[in-house]
Each structure stands twice: as structure tokens, then as C-alpha cells.
Amino acid sequence: MSSENLSSDKPLHLTQRPRRLRRTETLRKMVRETILTVDDLIYPMFVMEGESIKIEIASMPGCYRFSLDLLLEEITVVSQLGINAIALFPVIPEEQKNDTGTESYNPEGLVQETVKAIKKAVPEIIMITDVALDPFTTHGHDGLVDENGKILNDQTVEVLVKMALSQAEAGADFIAPSDMMDGRIGAIRQALDAEGYINVGILAYSAKYASAYYGPFRDALDSAPKFGDKKTYQMDAANAKEALKEIELDIAEGADIIMVKPALAYLDIICQVKTATNLPVAAYNVSGEYAMIKAAAQHGWIDEKKVILETLTSMKRAGADLILTYFAKEVALMLM
């Protein structure tokens, strides 16, 4: 068939031609609905005991466990790239763990000393500290456990309150309860206010699912549960209405920011949550999501940079105002 036969002197009469707005990169940028910026990103980082230590996490290529001295150097770089906030996670030595996680609220513990050092070195960075017992317990669960293996809710909340207060005293800007115990947001808010920490915010892991996407993170912290699973306190992956219930409760109890975790398989939840609240919504682009992209890129199966940006943009398009992502540093460099 000749090109002459494929053309016509008279084009179709179309009132709307959406392709007009896709014609050039400049036009596409002008009408783009969702813009990912470095201001949207929160960088999760891992700290460990020791000096001059930087250990790559095997299941999370490009992510490292840092000793405090090297972590401070990295945070200085991260801040210069325009990343405004980090979420801190500790690698606790086995000898400091016990069944009740008492090291979690040690005023001279790893988290507390790290927060103090970071706020002194880079005071403008927003420090978000994790509140959950799994890094600190021998059993690897987020709560206290009775002799029958049951996770105890109210007794756990009492420990979480101590943990949150110790982090606030160290200088944390946001407390981030990730444990999914009932009532912990209200208890922590009440305790913070009573001790004068009225400006310390709460970023609540409100809809945290019992997900298979957390494996690499648990490798990073050596915090996998030693028995059972976390399905009695983290949410069932099949449920959406329950997420809205959890969100509503956390807002009523005093959360300042609410979060959905994981993100990629839960974009529908992010969208529903965004519609249901006027609070900022965060999404956690978790370790398994990160690892899958890294693994595919290492095999040459995908264009890594394009997939990273497309993935994070999808989370923002779904309604996330903030994204916790291990890609934060890479994305900041891409967006410069």
C-alpha cells in the first residue's frame, strides 16, 4: 500500500484532539497533572553501633547500615541535595535485646544519641523516629508477648509511650508509631503534651498491612519475628474499609500525618485515604518494592531511573503528599 493511499486531503473533523497536548516535551510539562519533587521525599536510613562502618544491605543494593560518624556525613550530603527529612531505624546488637525491649527507651541508647548528634550537626533536617519494639526484642515482635505467644496490646502501649518520650527528649521532630497497637496514638499524644512536647508531631502508621514486601527491611535490622507472624496486629491485605477505620481513629487520637504502608500494591488505599481526610498522607515505598526494581535493573530488564520515577509518581498521583523511599537520594540527584 502506498503512502499516497494512507493520506487524505481532508483530515478527520475532530473537535478534540488530546494528542495536541502531547506533541512536544515542553507541552507535556505544561499540562502535567502530577509533579514529583524532592520536597515530597523522606529518606529512611539505618544506624548501627561502632565507628567508620558502612555495610551494604545485601537485599537492598545501594542502602547501607551506617555507624553514627558516617551517618552524619551522609545526612550532610542528603540535606545538601534538598531532602528535608529522614526516618531513622536502628540496628540493635543482640546483647542489648530482651523480651520487653527496655533498650528502646534508654536515654543513652543508639536512637536517642543518634538523634541528638544529627540535630546538632544538621539542625534543619526533620528527624522522624520509629516507635515499635521489634528491633529491640529477642522475639522480633512489635509488642510484648505473654507465655502463650499472644501479643499484649495495652501493656505494649505503656512501653511505646516511654519510647516516644525518650525520643522527643532527644530532639525528634516526629514520632512515628509503626506497631499497630490499638490506642497508641492517643496515649503517646497525651504523654507528649503532658511533658511539654506539644510541638513534637506524630506520623502515624495508620494503615500498615501484614505484607510480604517487608523482607529486606527485616534483613537490614535483623528484626524478623522468631515465631508466628504479625497478622494479629498488622492489617489484612484484603481489607480497604478497615484502613479508613484505622485512619479515622488515629486522627481522632491526635495524629498529624497518616501513612499507608506498603505503597505500590496499595495505591487504591492511598486514594481512598486521601479522599477521606484533609491531613497530609504519607506512603511508604517499602524495602520489597525497592528490591524488586533493583533486581530487575541489575538484570537489564528495565530502565531503572524511568521505573523509579514512574513508580513514585504513581504514589503521588494516588494521593500521597509524602513518600518514604529508599530511592530518595537517587531521585534527588535525578531531579537536580
Q: Alpha helices of 171-214 — where are they, by DSSP H?
A: 184-194
Partners of residue 3 on adjacent β-strands = none
Q: Is 274 among the residues known to form the active site?
A: no
- Exposure string for 230-265, b = 16+ CB within 10 A, e = fewer: beebbbeeeeeeebbebbebbbebbbbbbbbbbbbe
**Cell of residue 45, nine digits:** 536510613
d(CA 40, CA 34): 12
Concatenating the DSSP letter of every residue in 271-288 gives HHHHHH-SS-EEEEE-HH
Choose, from 208, 230, 274, 294, the residue flagged as catalytic: 208
Contact between 95 and 140 under an 8 Å Cβ cutoff? The reply is no
d(CA 296, CA 61): 12
- Ligand-binding annotation for 246, yes or no, is yes
d(CA 47, CA 49): 7
Cβ neighbors of 177 (< 8 A, separation 6 or more) are: 131, 132, 160, 164, 184, 185, 188, 202, 204, 205
Residue 83 CA: distances (Å) to CA of 44, 74, 76, 86, 163: 11, 12, 10, 8, 26
Choose, from 261, 294, 316, 329, the residue flagged as catalytic: 261
User: Comparing C-alpha atoms, which of 254, 102, 104 is closest to residue 170?
Assistant: 104
Q: Is 208 among the residues known to form the active site?
A: yes
Partners of residue 323 on adjacent β-strands = 41, 283
d(CA 93, CA 97): 7
54-57/60-67 β-pairing: antiparallel
Look at the alpha carbons of 317, 320, 321, 325 in this order and tell me if their dihedral is positive or negative. Answer: negative
The catalytic site residues sit at 208, 261
Question: From the annotation, which residues make up the binding site?
Answer: 246
